[in-house]
Amino acid sequence: MFRFDTIERLQRIKYLKITSKIMDIDIKYALIRKMARRDYYGSRLINFSDLVRVVPSHLRGEAKEEIKELLKLGFLNRKPGIKGEFRYSLKSELRKEIEEILKRGYF
């Protein structure tokens, strides 16, 4: 039989896994929403440091990973910027898909 604290610990771990998945989705949605709302499509670019500010400071490491994943999924363009910092924009070809994501309210 499990001890009570072991069961509680397992429930906490399960909760953390669920909330981390929800946070990943919310971070992607927040990044796309900020860029779409301010019309960062095509040649209009936003600095990496400005893009990451959309999430709280304790989630900025995860936001960096989510930006990399959005690049892999093909939603973002990346170009070199000043002082080695990259600049990002949404792909204008995917404007309809991005609008659908924004209407849905989640990624």
Which two three-digit tokens encode residue 41?
A: 């499509």
Amino acid making up residue 45: L
Strands 46-47 and 76-80: unpaired
Which residues is 49 bridged to in the sheet? none
Which of residues 4 and 86 earns the better pLDDT score?
86
Q: Identify the burial level of 94 via C-beta atoms within 10 angstroms of its C-beta, where 0-12 means exposed, 13-18 middle and 19 or more buried.
A: middle
Distances in Å between the Cα of 69 and the Cα atoms of 31, 52, 76, 83 are 12, 14, 9, 23
Task: Give the residue among 97, 41, 50 at the shortest CA–CA distance from 73.
Answer: 97
Chain segment 70-104, per-residue pLDDT in tens: 999 999 999 998 888 899 999 999 999 999 988 88
Q: pTM of the predicted model, to two decimals? A: 0.74
Which of residues 65 and 1 earns the better pLDDT score?
65
